[in-house]
Structure formats: C-alpha cells, structure tokens
C-alpha cells in the first residue's frame, strides 16, 4: 500500500507558489508498508445479542451529539487562517521532530482542494483532530477550524458527485449496493461499507451491547472501507482484555442527505483502497453478534431518524445563538455547556473585535454574560461591574421598557442574592418583572426565570411556602412554553427538591432530584456541572436517610465531574472528598477509624439560579 501525492492541478492561482514548491514533494515520500490481512474471516456463533425493543430512555440519542453539531456548525463559520493553525501545531508538536517535519510540509504544500488527502495521511493532523472531536477538546478544534471547514466543504462536494455514481452502481447489481423499489420506482439505494476498531469495554457495553435498536452517534469524521477483510484486520483478534474488537458493517441509505459522506479513493493518501469518509452522524444499531474468535460484528444503518424530543430541544436551543458574530455564538455555546472558562475566553476575545465594540446591543449582551460568568466564579465585584456596564449601555440606547433591561436587572439581582443582600436582589427582580409586564411582547421565559430566582431568595429567608409558590409559578410557565426535556425544567425540579430537603422530607427530595436527573441526562452533556450538582444533592439526601451506599455512589459520580472541571484544592472538591471518606468509613471500609457526624458539614450545591445569559 502506498500514499499518493496530492493533486496539485486544482490549486488556485493564489497557491501557485505552493504548487511549484510541491513539484519536489515526491511520491516516495509517502510510501508505507502494506498491512497483512487476516487468514480467514471468523464465523458467527450463537452468541448473538437479542434485538428486543428498548425502553424509550435507552432509545434516545445522547445529548453530546446535539452539542457536537452546534459546535461544528459554529466553528466552520469563524474566520481563521492557516498561519494560526500552523502556529498551534508547532507548539503541540514541539517535542517530536517527525511531526514538526510534517507541519513544515503542511505549511509549504497544503491547499483546500487537498484537505481529504491531508486528513487520510497517518500523521499528527489525523490523530489530533479525531482525538479532539471524540473528546470535544475545544482548544484544538478552535485551532483546527481552518482545516475542518476545508474538509467539510470538500466532503460536501464529493458527496454531490458520489450520488449519481451510486444510483448507476445499484442498477448494474454492484455487490456493494442494494436497491429497494415500490411499483417500479426506486425508493432506497443502500451502500455498504466497513470499519474495524477497538472499543473500550465500558463504552462498548453502554453504547453498543446494551443498546440494540437504539441510536449510536459519532462526532468525529469516520473513515470506512469497502474491503471487509481490511476492516477485520483493524478490528483486531479479540485478545485485548481492556477493549473489544469490533467490526462495523454500515449500511448507508443514500436518501439521507443530512450528513456529507463520499467515496474518497481519488483524494485519499492511500493508493488502491476504496474508502469513504462519513461526517458527524448517527446510526441505528440493527444487530450485534460475536464470532468464534471474539470479534464483535455490529450492523449499523445510517439513518435520517432522530430522537424527536432531542430534535425539538435542538430547535429551541438554536434561539440562544443570536450573535451576528459566530465567535459570540461559540461563547454562548460554551455557556450552555457550562464550560465557563472557555465562554469567558471567547467573550473577551469578542470584545477585541471592532465591529462588536461598535454594536451597542452586542456589547451589552457580552458584558451581561461576563457578569454572569464572574458570578459563577464567585467574583461578585467584577460581576457587578460588568452588569452595571451592560445596564448603562442599555439605558443609553434603549427605551426604559425594553426587555434587554429586564434581563440585566434580573442578573444584577442574582449578584446581590449571592452576596446575601436579599432585599436589593428582590428589588431588581421586581424591576425586571415590571418591565416584562409592560412590554408589548412579554417574555414568558424571563418571567419564569424571575419567579425561580425570587423563590431562591424566599428559600434563603426560610419562607418555604412562599418559595414553593414561586417555583410552582415558574413551573406552570415552563411546562407551557418549553420542550419537556429542557434543562430549565430540571433546574426548577431541583430547586423544589431543596425546599423539601430543608423541611426534612427526604423522600420528596429524592423524588424531585430523580425527575431532575432524568431530564438532564437527555439534555446536557454527561460531564455538565449541573448533573454533578444533582448527584451531590442526591448523595446528601441519602445520607440523611442513613443510606450510605447510595450516598457514596452518588458523591463519587459528582466528584468524578468536579475533579475534571476544578482543581483538587477547590473548596467543593475538598468537601466531596471528605464526604466520600466519611461515607466509606460508615460502610466499614476503614473499621479502625471512627466516623463522627458532626465532622461532616453539609454544603450542597442545593439550588440553581437562572440568569438570563443572552
């Protein structure tokens, strides 16, 4: 197997100099040793996973896929340059001379028309990009947006050219395609490709083995081949103890146009290999079988089906991306994903943009959201400063009844509430509600947010009945205007649970926290800090019931998320470690030590505020 030299004939006039330099970029520079194929394909045994229907919850798509799509769509719209990407790669590969040589080649010879070629070369670019897509590494994806856009556009172009070829192949009985007709009309053309890979045991069990009939989503570019035996080689022989060997058979319904996919044989860096790339997609798992040699055969179908509830939520959440600048929308997305440091980084970057600085609405929104972020970082002085800036801009340019003022007043109220100044906080919430009531088009969602936050003040003042009344007002509005899996509903249920917790009703506390978790699992990334907070609250409720097993399990789940978001010396992380140690002692894991209830000071993240962030 050999690499092909990039096709430089398509290079634009702007890249003529690169093309000249590329004349010295010889084909032999890309040669690699051919890979051996397995002697014989494994036969199937009776170890077949049943295809019984799943429960509704297991059939749902993971929320991560929705956020990955948002991220991709935003990144390819942000202005970028090759120089910026090269600088990032030089820093990333500084300790590897071989990779630095490839970076130099990329800088000399890369052209947009050769994006597929560069992606299929087994270099740092392929490794870094796919790893970043899998792990949603925002820094790397942001730096690679220049290349991601080129690859997306070239795949889209190849996809359009590929469709007529498939139709012709199906009518000539090509073994890689199948055709379904009704009344002599073609209704479906299916193409079959293969992919072999190793999967972590836990990931395989959760996403594949226990999910037959459900969705399986992939957020990275997926390289596939028409050669089943070659894919089998990459799957491995089933001898790895920490991972599973998986051979995917992927049936592509060519009527599905949501995700670009294309035969890339003419653009690939590999010679004599029929291959395709599929981009950000989801599948239905048709069947899962295990062969005698321990390799799993998984049949997937690229489908246009979507989780209806997640689709409704996605359409609703698109309204959060209202900036003219895609960089502002990226900051808003980071906010929704609770990646607060990145959100702050991109808002501050947006402030450096002259166009944004000269747009008073954009400027007011950015200051408002920076204020919200400082509030999350417990930097109340900075939060107040930013929100006052937002307020002054809005007062200067907007009528006193403009809804934007109501948003700023609400968020100022949040800052004062977090400082323990409840009366001033209530004053600002009431100002926000008054503006909304006199607005020609009332903002029901903002009104619900204000009711929630007033409820939090009443809770802090131990006015539990008044707090419940506010939360119920909030809930009534949200159930009318929001999708049933919207994160704001989960926030309201969580806050109601904490009223019951304060009243010592731990059964009700757990009931409402379970409702919260059910929504969050299907609307937020699994590593979202709000999910960790609910696990924390569940742990403390179980602790009050003296159920130390559930208390320990839930606190560990909360800790696993917090330790990836905050440093180990963060106060909440330190408290979680204390809880884990204490609960473990109570379960007898350290029988030589005495547990003392008084040494465990409960400090749950019991309530969740609702600042209007844009």
- Are residues 193 and 225 in contact, defined by beta-carbon separation less than 8 angstroms? yes
Token couple for 115: 């994006």
Least confident of 5-9, 225-229, 241-245, 587-591: 5-9
Structure-block tokens of residue 607: 């309530």
- The band of 32, judged by pLDDT with boundaries at 50, 70 and 90, is very low
451 vs 53, more confident: 451
Asked if 614 and 365 count as a contact pair (C-beta separation under 8 A), the reply is yes
Whole-number Å distance between alpha carbons of 3 and 270: 4
Which two tokens mark 375? 């509030």
Average pLDDT over residues 480-499: 95
Of the two residues 102 and 262, the one the predictor is more confident about is 102
CB 426 within 8 A of CB 454: yes
CATH number for the domain formed by residue range(s) 174-307: 3.90.176.10
% of residues, the chain, pLDDT over 70:
76
pLDDT band at 600 (very low <50, low <70, confident <90, very high): very low
Residue 206 vs residues 62, 200, 202, 203, 484: alpha-carbon distances, Å: 12, 10, 6, 5, 25
Closest CA to 228 of 41, 44, 47: 41
Question: 3-state DSSP call for residue 265?
Answer: coil
Residue 50: per-residue pLDDT:
32
Contact 404, 364 (CB under 8 A): yes
Query: Residue 310 corresponds to which tokens in the numbers above?
Result: 């997640």
Higher pLDDT, 123 or 466: 466
Q: Find out whether 164 and 171 touch, Cβ atoms under 8 Å.
A: no
- Torsions phi, psi of 558, nearest 5? -65, -45
> What integer pLDDT is reported at residue 512 of this predicted model?
98
**pLDDT value of residue 475:** 97
pLDDT at 203 over 80: yes
| Confidence (pLDDT) at 426 | 98
Q: What is the mean pLDDT of residues 404-429?
A: 94
Give CA–CA dist 280/275, Å, rounded.
Answer: 17
pLDDT exceeds cutoff 90 at 403: no
The CB density around residue 213, as the number of other CB atoms within 10 Å, is 15
Handedness of CA 482, 487, 488, 492 (dihedral sign): positive
- For residue 483, name the pLDDT band (cuts at 50, 70, 90): very high
**CATH for the 308-442 domain, from 3.20.20.220, 3.40.50.1370, 1.25.40.10, 1.20.1260.10:** 1.25.40.10
Q: Which two tokens stand for residue 123?
A: 């270099």
Q: Would you state the pLDDT for residue 281?
A: 64
**49-72: per-residue pLDDT in tens?**
333 333 333 445 578 878 888 998
Per-residue confidence band for 591, with pLDDT thresholds at 50, 70 and 90: very low
Residue with tokens 């919260």: 516
Mean pLDDT of 420-438: 94
The pLDDT, as a whole number, for residue 267 is: 63
| Residue 147 pLDDT greater than 90, yes or no | yes
**Cα–chain center distance at 217:** 11
**What is the rounded radius of gyration, in angstroms, for the C-alpha atoms of the chain?**
27
CA 173 – CA 167 distance, rounded (Å)? 10
Across the range 24-40, mean pLDDT stands at 36
pLDDT band at 597 (very low <50, low <70, confident <90, very high): very low
Phi-psi region at 320: left, alpha or beta (left = phi > 0; alpha = psi -120 to 50): alpha
pLDDT band at 88, cuts 50/70/90? very high
Each residue's pLDDT tens digit, 171-194: 554 555 555 445 454 445 788 889
Give the C-alpha separation, 238 to 246, whole Å. Answer: 8
Instruction: Please check the confidence at residue 347 and state whether its pLDDT lies above 80.
Output: yes
Sign (positive or negative) of CA dihedral 252, 63, 522, 485:
negative
Count CB-CB contacts under 10 A for residue 393. Answer: 21
Average predicted confidence (pLDDT) for the chain: 81
> Is pLDDT larger for residue 206 or for residue 36?
206
Compute the distance between CA of residue 539 and CA of residue 581 in angstroms, rounded to an integer: 13
Residue with tokens 């509430």: 417
How much is the average pLDDT of 574-592?
A: 83
Task: Answer whether residue 47 shows pLDDT above 50.
Answer: no
At residue 433 the predicted structure's pLDDT band, cuts being 50, 70 and 90, is: very high
The encoded tokens of residue 218 equal 């992939």
Query: What is the rounded CA–CA span in Å between residue 329 and residue 74?
Result: 7
pLDDT at 152: 87
State the average pLDDT over residues 21-34: 38
Please, what sign has the CA dihedral across residues 411, 416, 420, 426? negative
> Domain residues of the chain, as ranges?
174-307, 308-442
Task: Report, as an integer, the average pLDDT of 567-572.
Answer: 83
* Mean pLDDT on 465-487: 96
Please say whether the beta carbons of 536 and 554 come within 8 A: yes
Consecutive H or E run containing 297: strand 295-302
Question: What is the average per-residue pLDDT within 393-406?
Answer: 90
Q: Find out whether 366 and 347 touch, Cβ atoms under 8 Å.
A: yes
pLDDT of residue 51: 33
* 235 within 8 A of 244, measured Cβ to Cβ: no
pLDDT of 103 above 80 = yes
CB 109 within 8 A of CB 123: no
Long-range contacts of 425-429 (CB under 8 A, 24+ apart): 425/453, 425/457, 426/454, 426/457, 429/453, 429/454, 429/457
């Amino acid at each position: 197997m050999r690499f092909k030299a990039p096709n430089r004939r398509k290079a634009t006039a702007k890249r003529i100099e690169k093309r000249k330099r590329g004349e010295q970029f010889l084909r032999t520079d890309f040669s690699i040793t051919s890979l051996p194929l397995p002697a014989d394909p494994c036969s199937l045994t009776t170890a077949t996973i049943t295809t019984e229907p799943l429960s509704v919850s297991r059939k749902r798509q993971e929320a991560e896929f929705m956020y990955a799509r948002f991220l991709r769509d935003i990144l390819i719209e942000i202005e970028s340059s090759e120089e910026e990407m090269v600088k990032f790669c030089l820093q990333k590969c500084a300790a590897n001379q071989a990779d630095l040589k490839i970076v130099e080649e990329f800088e000399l010879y890369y052209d947009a028309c050769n994006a597929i070629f560069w992606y299929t070369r087994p270099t740092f670019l392929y490794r870094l990009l796919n790893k970043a897509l899998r792990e949603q590494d925002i820094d790397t994806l942001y730096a690679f947006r220049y290349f991601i856009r080129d690859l997306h556009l070239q795949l889209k172009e190849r996809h359009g050219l590929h469709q007529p070829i498939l139709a012709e192949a199906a009518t000539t009985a090509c073994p890689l395609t199948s055709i379904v007709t009704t009344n002599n009309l073609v209704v479906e053309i299916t193409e079959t490709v293969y992919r072999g890979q190793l999967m972590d045991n836990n990931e395989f069990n959760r996403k594949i083995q226990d999910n037959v009939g459900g969705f399986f989503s992939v957020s990275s570019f997926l390289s596939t081949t028409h050669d089943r035996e070659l894919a089998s080689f990459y799957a491995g022989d089933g001898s790895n103890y920490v991972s599973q060997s998986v051979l995917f058979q992927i049936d592509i319904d060519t009527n599905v146009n949501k995700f670009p996919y294309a035969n890339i044989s003419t653009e690939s860096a590999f010679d004599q290999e029929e291959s395709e790339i599929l981009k950000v997609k989801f599948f239905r798992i048709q069947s899962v079988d295990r062969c005698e040699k321990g390799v799993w055969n998984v049949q997937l179908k690229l489908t246009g089906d979507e989780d209806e509830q997640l689709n409704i939520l996605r359409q609703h959440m698109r309204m959060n991306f209202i900036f003219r600048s895609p960089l502002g929308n990226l900051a808003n997305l980071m906010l929704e994903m609770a990646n607060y440091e990145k959100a702050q980084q991109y808002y501050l970057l947006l402030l450096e943009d002259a166009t944004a600085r000269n747009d008073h609405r954009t400027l007011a929104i950015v200051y408002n959201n920076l204020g919200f972020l400082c509030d999350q970082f417990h930097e109340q002085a900075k939060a107040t400063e930013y929100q006052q800036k937002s307020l002054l801009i809005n007062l200067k340019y907007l009528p006193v009844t403009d809804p934007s003022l109501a948003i700023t007043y609400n968020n100022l109220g949040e800052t004062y509430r977090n400082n323990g100044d409840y009366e001033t906080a209530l004053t600002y919430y009431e100002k926000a509600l008054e503006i909304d009531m006199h607005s020609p088009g009332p903002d029901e969602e903002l009104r619900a947010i204000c009711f929630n936050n007033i409820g939090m003040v009443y809770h802090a003042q131990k006015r539990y009945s008044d707090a419940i009344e506010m939360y119920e007002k909030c809930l009534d509005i949200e159930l009318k205007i929001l999708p049933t899996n919207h994160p704001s509903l989960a926030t309201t249920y969580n806050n109601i649970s904490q009223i019951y917790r304060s009243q010592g009703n731990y059964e009700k506390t757990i009931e409402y926290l379970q409702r919260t978790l059910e929504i969050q699992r299907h609307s937020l990334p699994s590593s979202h800090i709000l999910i960790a907070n609910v696990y924390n609250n569940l742990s403390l409720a179980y602790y009050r019931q003296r159920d130390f097993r559930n208390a320990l399990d839930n606190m560990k789940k909360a800790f696993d998320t917090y330790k990836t978001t905050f440093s180990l010396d963060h106060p909440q992380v330190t408290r979680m470690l204390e809880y884990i140690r204490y609960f473990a002692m109570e379960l007898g894991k350290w029988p030589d030590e005495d547990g003392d209830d008084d040494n465990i000071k409960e400090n749950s993240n019991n309530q969740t505020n609702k600042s209007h962030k844009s």
